[in-house]
Amino acid sequence: MPATILESALSQFHSAADQINLSDQNRDYLTAFKTTFHTEFPVEMDDGSFRVFHGIRVHHNIARGPAKGGIRYDAAVTIEEVKALAMFMTWKCAVVGVPFGGAKGGVIVNPRELSTSELQNLTRRFTSELVPIIGPDQDIPAPDMGTNPQVMAWMMDTYSMARGYTIPGVVTGKPIALGGSEGRFEATGRGILYVLQEHLAAEGGVSGRTVSVQGFGNVGGVAAKLLQQAGATVTHVGDKDISLHRPGGIDATSAFVYTQAGGSLRDWNREFGHAEEVAPAEILTADVDVLVPAATESVLTEENAEDVRARLIVEGANGPTTPEADAIFQRRGITVIPDILANAGGVTVSYFEWVQGRQFLQWSEDEVNAHLRRIIAKAYREVTSRCPIGGEGCTQRQAANWIAIERVVEALTLRGIFP
């Protein structure tokens, strides 16, 4: 039976903990979850009836600062998934030096089945349930799968109404008109570009590389577009509905603009792209230089890892690679730039948005991108200093986890344990 994402997260943690000789007490502390919040709440539907929904919010660790993490609306949300993603957020914030702890949340719902008014009702009621545990100094939600800046606007407004005044810092990923940050929408995909540019700097850069991108939303779509604009040839892209291949390159910029305007990747291809439709599995096993899994977790497993032909994997999704696949990639000499580094652009610019909201300032997009590049580049160099490119006996995931765990333990040690 395949491991769950939580089992994979714990396996990665314990492996790294073994390698740095982490004490049993710190191991117990870092595998505990500070807050696990469940709520079941009614939502009025358009026809006057109501449905009961199940919501979850988890705080993993707050030794380094307020909890931070996305809210996802998805029919497959589970407590194990939310716990794993909260843990990943703790490590992600630590490895890039952002002063937050890890959190995650979600509602078990297919948002595409709800009208706009029903989605707003659900968001506002869920937010009201979360009011006791969120806040700009406690826990700062952000968009994730199935949510977007509009959902964050409703969350911010609901929380602010409960407090009696506007509190823009309670969430990030908001529309710019409500205190959102320039550059936040593209931040995760742009972080993928920046980390890839750092990795390939000594090998001629990104230009001319062939790339396959699984997922074509706010992460994969942005990454594909930016990689194409940087000179890469995006030969494969895919979303939940269609997977495409074009040897000479897919116009990812055109496709992304089309899908962001409300069209589907399938319709874009029919009208403009004229790429060959391929099996979804081919996106992951394409004969390319770089693979970017940017859709969902646990897509690279022991069943398909031997078939992966890319020599470099840059994880855009959270937890896309199982520990079994990691071992195969290490044996085969395939480099994996791990999620807690590669997709940390989103939380980094969320931190910038939080800072701007607390100070009622607005940075330009150029300022945001410059700060993002500096932080991602610094984090990448710190990881590779612990596990040099081409080095034997370690992986970038292990090195990133060593750094993250050590930073959280340092914060815990300096703070001490409250009696």
**Span 165-219, pLDDT tens digits:** 999 999 999 999 999 999 999 999 999 999 999 999 989 899 999 999 999 998 9
Rounded to whole angstroms, how far apart are CA atoms 340 and 376?
A: 11
Q: Which domains does the chain have, with CATH numbers?
A: 23-172 (3.40.50.10860), 187-343 (3.40.50.720)
Chain segment 338-382, per-residue pLDDT in tens: 999 999 999 999 999 999 998 888 999 999 999 999 999 999 999
Please state, in angstroms and rounded to a whole number, the distance separating the CA atoms of residues 313 and 144. Answer: 22
Has residue 393 got a pLDDT over 60?
A: yes
Distances (CA, A) of 293 to 275, 383, 385: 20, 20, 25
What's residue 3's pLDDT?
72
Contact 90, 60 (CB under 8 A): yes
pLDDT digits (tens, 9 = 90+) for 78-130: 999 999 999 999 999 999 999 999 999 999 999 999 999 999 999 999 999 99
Residues in the chain: 419
Report H helices in 79-204: 79-96, 116-130, 149-163, 187-200
What does the pLDDT average to over 36-48? 97
Q: What percent of the chain has pLDDT over 90?
A: 92
> Which one is catalytic: 68, 83, 92, 104?
104
Active-site annotation holds for 68: no
What pTM did the predictor assign? 0.93
First to last CA, the chain: 42
